[in-house]
Structure 1
Amino acid sequence: MLFESDPNKIIRPVDLKTYTNKLNWEKKLIKSASLPTNTDFALVNGGRSKKESEFTYCIYYDNQTGTKRHHSHTFRNVKELENAGIRLKASETSCLTDISFNSIFFVGTLWLPPVIVDDSTGPKFMNLIAYEMCPDFDNDFTVTSYMCFLDSLIDEAEDVKALRRAGILYNGLGSDEEVAKLFNKMNTDLVPSPMIYSYVEQQIDNHCKNMWINYAAKAYHTLFRSPWTCLAFVAAIAALYLSALHTYYTIHQPK
């Protein structure tokens, strides 16, 4: 079911008589749930090839298959990703599919679209998810998949805190614990499409499963987690160098 500008006012999908009306409603709902972004971009599919004169958004519909999709990944939360050397950064747009990952040596970067979380977030996204479930609405479950992806990253308040620090999540609810509970509750029993974020998920899995990357990332986080540990590491290297230098000159000093 969908709501009007007042998130507490619920209307039935049958009240939207035409396909155009349904699409316009969805555009308004998604727009109100997102951060302002460049008008060259759409919220859900990016829309990079179509410049829109107004602040509107569009949905990408997958008409190639009507089969039910199943989730294929058991994903890691933010804390585990950080331990594997993965940093979080905000994407340039608030398009829900603007999620990407790249890896250089042992450091990976996960880009996520920024999102505002407040009292209206729960009703808005749940209504959008319900709309995607309508049998006469052919789509690729973009909103459902995005919510499942975000939920997989959030297990506890510390994960929310990390997303806030990265500028990805703006907390208008109050405590980080409330936000974590909201996402965990909303995503109960949801089935995302395995097609939308499968490439990103596979890249992250490959990064996390690489033994040498894990060792390097753990060493990096251990040695450089604070200025004091960094100074201690530099001091230890300097001490080893001086010790080796002293040993060398002791052995090779002229008789």
Structure 2
Amino acid sequence: MSSELKAMEPPKPSYDQEWVIQISRALEEDLQDINAEGLPVSIFSVPKTLISLKPDAYTPQLMALGPYHHQRPELCEMEHHKLTSAKRVQKNLQQIKFCHLVNHIAQSDSTVRACYHRFLEFDQETLALIFAIDASFLLEYLQTYSPEMEEGSLMRISSKMAHLIDYTRRKTAHHAILRDVIKLENQIPLFLLREVHSFYPGEDHDEVFATMLMGFCKDLLPTKYINYQRFREECFGRAHLLQLLYYMVAPKFQLVPDCSEQEKPKESEEIGSVAEEVEISASHEMEVELSPLVEEIAIPSVTQLHKIGVNFCPTKGGLESINFDESCDKFYLPIIHLDDNSEVVLRNLVAYKACVAPEMMVFTRYTELMNGIIDDEEDVRILREAGIILNRLKSDGEVATLWNGMTKSVRATKVPVLDKTIEGANTYYSESWKVRMNVTMKKYVFASWPCLTFLAANILILMSTLQAACSMYNCSKIFKSL
């Protein structure tokens, strides 16, 4: 009987049939929306060369935002919390229903899809509902970064969400969400957040929204340096929160992409040979099969530079303030704050730029510089005592592990300001009299050590033989007679 019922069931569509249905549906949609023309893709999947080394740093651990990780079983627990936020938004919306907000988002369907690198299998209504709910939760979370939050001018956080969203930003769950919010694969378009926020009660929506974004960036920025005027001018032009954070931390440099990995300038070879000669490049284990991986740059460590008289000085600026001034023996670096969220932030900033513009890796070059000069906890201690690293991790050793674990799976990029600093540090170190003395000792003393050892051994054997002969023939009488 059961076999007969199964025979009567309509056959399930095959994978090929499902693909045809999805593609046909996509072609039927109005993909010629003028707003989507020329819109660059900004939300990517993290490259496998990065995600395979540290999956937790890139994959959402508590909640999904947007379509990439929607309905992952291990993230479903947060869905009812997001639904709670959506209900609160529905209650506070002015003269419209939540379904109207969903329909408004659906009208931008092609523009939203154009932001994503992957093909999104959800239909228009489902995708709009996902964004409406996720945006509701994210805005409730972001409003904790607004000064008005404490004054009560915004919607207060409900008691049901108090264990997750905390305007004091001290609770563990709040930071767990924060780490998921900033991950590349969890981004949702910023213009969409802005539109949803415009439906909220109150006035000056853009001013309030910009204040929220600024507070968010200020909390997460590792260098804590914000050009406030530039932020106001550019914040709404960014694609998503991670891109906004990137352009706050990485200024616009004049970049020279390295188009050929085989053609290397002679200067670099000379610097590399000197670095190898005095052993200034630490050798860290790297996964060879996950090429292309850029090896650690050749530059002395903090400890090595400090021993020859280099002083490390904090600057109040951003990455553009990095400089090595050999005239006064000073290495200038921006102040960087490191806490439990820092590794996720740093890695996803690198991942974002690796996807969107691998030839313009300004921030990655900075992480390579820090990786190069930090080998162990002693290097961290010197930078911490100099006021460059503000460490909120458990130990200096954790900071060293963080920097040494940063992956550079992008092709080399020349950033004039940073490369000049690296070259200056290498030249200064190689020309130091202490280093020259070490090189001389290694070349002429240590290299001759086997010969000296052989000569000393022969002299010892000769003297032993002479002593034995003297004991037999009474050499003292012979010498007296002479």
TM-score (norm. length: structure 2): 0.35
1:101 to 324, 328, 331: 324
Aligned pair in 2 of structure 1 residues 31, 132: CA closer, same or farther (>3 Å)?
A: farther
1:8 and 2:200 aligned: no
CA contact (8 A) 1:151 1:187 kept: no
Corresponding residue for residue 202 of structure 1 = 423
Corresponding residue for residue 275 of structure 2 = none
Offset at residue 185 of structure 1 (A): 1.1
1:75 and 2:299 aligned: yes
Higher relative contact order (Cα pairs below 8 Å, separated by 6+ residues): 1
Partner SS, residue 319 of structure 2? coil
1:116 and 2:304 aligned: no
CA contact (8 A) 1:71 1:192 kept: no
CA contact (8 A) 1:100 1:112 kept: yes
| Structure 1: 5+ residue stretches without partners | 41-50, 217-255
Offset at residue 12 of structure 1 (A): 2.4
Offset at residue 140 of structure 1 (A): 1.7
Aligned pair in 2 of structure 1 residues 83, 192: CA closer, same or farther (>3 Å)?
A: farther
Corresponding residue for residue 143 of structure 1 = 363
Q: Which has the higher helix share?
A: 2
Offset at residue 174 of structure 1 (A): 1.3
Offset at residue 68 of structure 1 (A): 6.8
1:28-87, CA deviations, whole angstroms, 9 ceiling, x for partnerless residues?
6587223443637xxxxxxxxxx5374973642768758377779411111101112211
CA contact (8 A) 1:62 1:138 kept: no
Offset at residue 212 of structure 1 (A): 3.6
1:39 and 2:263 aligned: no
Cα distance in 1 for residues equivalent to 2:431 and 2:258: 36
Corresponding residue for residue 233 of structure 1 = none
Correspondences of 1:184-203 after superposition (within 5 Å) = 184-187=404-407, 192-196=412-416, 197-203=418-424
Offset at residue 100 of structure 1 (A): 0.3
CA contact (8 A) 1:148 1:192 kept: no
TM-score (norm. length: structure 1): 0.63
Partner SS, residue 167 of structure 1? coil
Tell me the amino acid that sits aligned with residue 429 of structure 2: C
Partner SS, residue 357 of structure 2? coil
1:94-131, CA deviations, whole angstroms, 9 ceiling, x for partnerless residues?
x1232101123xx5100000000101100001111110
1:88 and 2:276 aligned: no
How many residue pairs match? The answer is 197
Tell me the amino acid that sits aligned with residue 7 of structure 1: R
CA contact (8 A) 2:322 2:421 kept: yes
Q: Which has the higher strand share?
A: 1
Offset at residue 13 of structure 1 (A): 7.4
Offset at residue 11 of structure 1 (A): 5.1
Corresponding residue for residue 347 of structure 2 = 126
Cα distance in 1 for residues equivalent to 2:430 and 2:399: 29
Tell me the amino acid that sits aligned with residue 333 of structure 2: L
Aligned pair in 2 of structure 1 residues 61, 109: CA closer, same or farther (>3 Å)?
A: closer
Tell me the amino acid that sits aligned with residue 111 of structure 1: Y
Partner SS, residue 143 of structure 1? helix
Cα distance in 2 for residues equivalent to 1:81 and 1:112: 14
Tell me the amino acid that sits aligned with residue 67 of structure 1: C
CA contact (8 A) 2:316 2:334 kept: yes
Correspondences of 1:43-54 after superposition (within 5 Å) = 51-52=229-230, 54=232
Partner SS, residue 90 of structure 1? strand
CA contact (8 A) 1:90 1:168 kept: yes
Offset at residue 89 of structure 1 (A): 0.4
- 179-188 or 66-75, which moves further after superposition? 66-75
Partner SS, residue 174 of structure 1? coil
Partner SS, residue 299 of structure 2? coil
- 75-84 or 182-191, which moves further after superposition? 182-191
Tell me the amino acid that sits aligned with residue 326 of structure 2: S
Cα distance in 2 for residues equivalent to 1:188 and 1:161: 24
Aligned pair in 2 of structure 1 residues 71, 130: CA closer, same or farther (>3 Å)?
A: same
Cα distance in 2 for residues equivalent to 1:182 and 1:11: 19
CA contact (8 A) 1:62 1:140 kept: no
CA contact (8 A) 1:207 1:213 kept: no
| Structure 2: 5+ residue stretches without partners | 1-45, 47-57, 61-137, 143-177, 195-209, 236-247, 262-293, 438-482
CA RMSD of superposed structures (Å): 3.8
- 200-209 or 108-117, which moves further after superposition? 200-209
Aligned pair in 2 of structure 1 residues 179, 62: CA closer, same or farther (>3 Å)?
A: same
